[in-house]
Structure 1
């Protein structure tokens, strides 16, 4: 029996062990998509306590705590201390066996706080609380210190087009900063015309650009200005969050003006109108990304805010979002083809929350490789409900069999937590397990420089070439 999270955790063959320890473990991290707060990095903030770090805003943990029978007051209650919430979390940790949170939580305890061998439960909770809080009070455990512990070289935050990017500027100008922090352009509010917040958002964007956005072409002008602003602050990527993939041929500008004005006024739009508007704006943006040499990421397939009572009480992103199962192949191929026909398809990363669409994503990516860059259209890593062992293994296996695993950009945290970076280790161990088994079974040559070179590319080099190469 192997020790829990021991040196060879997940590494079930000698080949896997050698691949991980000799090739993967020491590679730096390029975390090209996350939701960390740039202000926290700029100010190099220290954190109050482990309860706040672990539980404030972490809907993964909230969801699991509810499943384990914890009262909502001990999850999101405003009158409950973070120590009480932490003790509640610790008390149900034994119920998390088999859930990735069991691994993630203990990896964070071990890798950051030196608590190897401690198993979190109500019995160990006070000790864990005291040890973690004592370390969080030190300079080494500041926001930047935590990132440096994990050898993070680059971060891609997620930012609204209206953001002034003040904190990114501060980080870039700070001579003591040891990592690159790039903004990522997230324009969802500007094209999700069916949302009740659309009109207010257009007013906000109007104030930011300094002119009234009263028609479709003025919206494109405003977005172009914000793209330029993001570019001046080091942006190299955009991200579109799409609950479902909608696409149709782009209609005439006069029709888009009508739809824009109706949406801005709060009128209820038909599905056809919503599809037409989203398609037009995303085609425009795709061309702009290609012109600038940026990467376009598309996160597709969440069904959000399903529990209306919880949404009314707490708002979005509280652990009530699931996997949607709507059509993907046809609209996604049409969208990419529209850009490709004009030779305006940017480097693209596709993520599907529905794991049954993995093959669709991989084969769609394969349709649009053009030889200009390896893996120009990527099948992104297992996302959200799928960034666990089975989900990541499915994604990598299908990518290897239907595409080229060697061109894969690898792992990202997609997290709001400064303690989430051992997930890169989790991914790397799994990757080495898979490739090590191929070697052990004779599916690939027993050549460690060959396989190890691919491991290093997936862990770091491929993403570094896309997001850190200043020559682009």
Structure 2
């Protein structure tokens, strides 16, 4: 073991560079519960309280952040996503980690080893891989570190999964009846039905017919099928929707007769023009938005991703595998038109809007400020730093923009957007950054030296606001 493998690294005051920050974090933020309102966690893992044999199963499966870094480090794809043993895949990650110095993955990796696994003052590298592998397996074998036990250690009270309208939600129902672990709520993710231009759209309509029991002959039938699925999700506690709009569009919705013809043409294998597809997407999204408002649900819009850029990677490995990037489309006008169309009818639901390109921070924060009101604090939210932005400077940029354009007091805070149970450490990462920013402003005289008052703000953003936003009607 070399000296550099064991260091007093990322101690209790990690990222906390002044006394007000340390007090805000330790006295107000550190022990707050977590309500994670957007994740891609597996309902199977939570409902079945899965036990993990090793860190590869818990940590590397489906984590495209790590896969992307491993490719950058020159690791052969076979050792990343191919047919190698769990131990060999873990060794490949250990080889890549020292190259991640300066990348947020270096911090996240060691935060996750420390909590909940309790592996401290040991840096992951090829030299320490065997010790960390063995120690982590021993600890994962203990009763507290099942899937639900890990969530309990992170103090997770509520976790929202991401679910297709055709999902049965049987696992959510079984988990709710068990009374075990945190609340697990579904999120209505109707992307497939919005994208009439996609090659598999007709196949998806067939799945929706089966799930809903509604034969979809025309547009009104499609809405009836979606209505049935919304009722089904509501019966399982759903209070959130989510849509990935790579490039938001707004086209004045066609008549129902024209929408029927568009469906008929797609069922016949005909391609539609961009204008025709946009009209269909707009019509469905506006109908869904009105439904969300009627039901008291929150609508989430994720904007600006460029997905599956490597066609070879997509063909060999599949989507959501680390071949995505930040888009540079402009979308202020169509997004404003979508929100305005709902607002004109007093049918705009509480909405959280996330941007992937940090260039758009000020535009988006200014735009959502135009649709506040109805007595709802922070009704339309400039969402948390997302995906490529969830590192320190991205979080700081988002928070500064939130301070400058909105009311930080009503921000609904951080989420994981992750497929790994260990990613709840990102809430701690966010809380430390948040408290450091506020503490620095206190030190500079920009905020009053009233840490009890500012502590109330910290607790609100860490947990209280999202609880109110999601569950108070």
TM-score by length of 2: 0.97
Which residue number corresponds to residue 188 of structure 1? 191
The alpha-carbon deviation at position 262 of structure 1 amounts to: 2.0
Query: SS at the partner of 2:299?
Result: strand
The alpha-carbon deviation at position 3 of structure 1 amounts to: 4.4
The alpha-carbon deviation at position 111 of structure 1 amounts to: 1.1
The alpha-carbon deviation at position 441 of structure 1 amounts to: 0.5
- Quick check: 2:151–2:181 contact (8 Å CA) kept in 1? no
Map Cα deviations across residues 152-195 of structure 1 (whole Å, 9 max, x no partner): 000111011011110111111113x1421111000001111111
What RMSD over aligned residues (CA atoms) do the two structures have, in Å?
1.1
Which residue number corresponds to residue 336 of structure 2? 333
- Quick check: 2:166–2:229 contact (8 Å CA) kept in 1? yes
Distance 1:150 1:444 in 2: 30
Distance 1:456 1:309 in 2: 46
> 1:347-366 maps to which residues of 2 (within 5 A)?
347-366=350-369
> Is 1:14 equivalent to 2:19 in the alignment?
yes
The count of aligned residue pairs is 467
Which residue number corresponds to residue 117 of structure 1? 121
Distance 2:427 2:315 in 1: 35
Distance 2:299 2:248 in 1: 15
> 1:40-439 maps to which residues of 2 (within 5 A)?
40-77=45-82, 79-175=83-179, 177-439=180-442
The alpha-carbon deviation at position 416 of structure 1 amounts to: 0.7
- Quick check: 2:69–2:96 contact (8 Å CA) kept in 1? no
Map Cα deviations across residues 139-163 of structure 1 (whole Å, 9 max, x no partner): 2110000000000000111011011
Distance 2:227 2:340 in 1: 22
Query: SS at the partner of 1:10?
Result: coil
Distance 2:139 2:211 in 1: 41
The alpha-carbon deviation at position 266 of structure 1 amounts to: 3.1
Which residue number corresponds to residue 440 of structure 1? 443
Which residue number corresponds to residue 4 of structure 2? none
Distance 2:269 2:17 in 1: 57
Q: Say which is worse superposed, 252-261 or 371-380, in terms of deviation.
A: 252-261
Structure 2 portions without partners, runs of 5+: 1-6
The alpha-carbon deviation at position 371 of structure 1 amounts to: 4.2
Query: SS at the partner of 1:239?
Result: strand
Distance 2:162 2:383 in 1: 17
Distance 1:396 1:52 in 2: 34
Map Cα deviations across residues 20-50 of structure 1 (whole Å, 9 max, x no partner): 0001001000001101111211111101211
Map Cα deviations across residues 224-253 of structure 1 (whole Å, 9 max, x no partner): 110011001100000001111111222211
- Quick check: 2:213–2:225 contact (8 Å CA) kept in 1? no
Structure 1 portions without partners, runs of 5+: none
- Quick check: 2:214–2:224 contact (8 Å CA) kept in 1? no
The counterpart of 1:4, out of the listed 9, 14, 19, is: 9
Query: SS at the partner of 2:138?
Result: helix
The runs of 4+ residues in structure 1 deviating greater than 4 Å are none
Distance 1:218 1:316 in 2: 30
Query: SS at the partner of 2:220?
Result: helix
Distance 1:48 1:263 in 2: 47
Distance 1:230 1:298 in 2: 19
Distance 1:331 1:93 in 2: 42
- Quick check: 2:239–2:297 contact (8 Å CA) kept in 1? yes
TM-score by length of 1: 0.97
Distance 1:408 1:389 in 2: 18
Distance 1:446 1:348 in 2: 33
Distance 2:470 2:64 in 1: 28
